Amino acid sequence: MNQIKEKDPSFLLYSKDWLEGTADLMPDEKGVYIDLLCHQHQKGSLPADTARLARLVGLSEDKFLPIWDQLKTKFGKLNGSRVVNHKLSRVVAERAAFSISKKIAGEFAFLLRENGYSEQRRYEIKKSFKMEDFMNFKPDEVRGELKKWLSQW
């Protein structure tokens, strides 16, 4: 049975970076900015069309445009119709990689214990293990792939 991958419900917000990166913004600009970041986190990217962006944050386009003039440098074009905040994209990708690496490490440790290898054998297996060989698998595939790899031993 395939597990449905749930959307990560959060992203890391570094307070120092936020305060430094928004120090020149007015409170309403900060509010729109955090809303846009949250929408990007949930959808992966944002529409480049200002009318659609305004709708996302609950403003008329007339009220949104002056705010967007202050914020648009914080977003880059993804393609002709989408924009992203590249730092948020990087933070989300790093969090996902960290999460999968923890899953791999936990499954690997469990399988080593479950198979009852000797201490010497576990040492040899650990020496040849490369985390990056498993980073591209979906979380629900990790155990099976690790079992295949361990079957060589």
Instruction: State pLDDT tens for residues 22-69.
Output: 999 999 999 999 999 999 999 999 999 999 999 999 999 999 999 999
Same domain, 80 and 101: no
Domain range for 118 is 97-150
At residue 7, does pLDDT exceed 80? no
pLDDT band at 6; cut points 50, 70, 90? low
Which tokens belong to 138?
A: 């979906």
End-of-domain residue from the set 63, 84, 105:
84
**pTM (two decimals):** 0.75
Mean pLDDT, residues 126-137: 94
Same domain, 20 and 75: yes
Percentage of the chain exceeding pLDDT 90: 78
Asked whether residue 3 is assigned to any structural domain, the reply reads no
**Please, which residues have CB within 8 angstroms of residue 148's CB and are 6 or more apart in sequence?**
none
Please report, for residues 14, 66, 77, 122, the alpha-carbon distance to residue 25 in angstroms, rounded to integers and kept in the order given. 17, 12, 22, 55
Number of separate domains in the chain: 2
Same domain, 73 and 101: no
Helix 119-128 with 86-114: angle, nearest 10 deg: 150
Return the closest-CA partner of residue 48 out of 97, 81, 91. 81
Same domain, 74 and 124: no
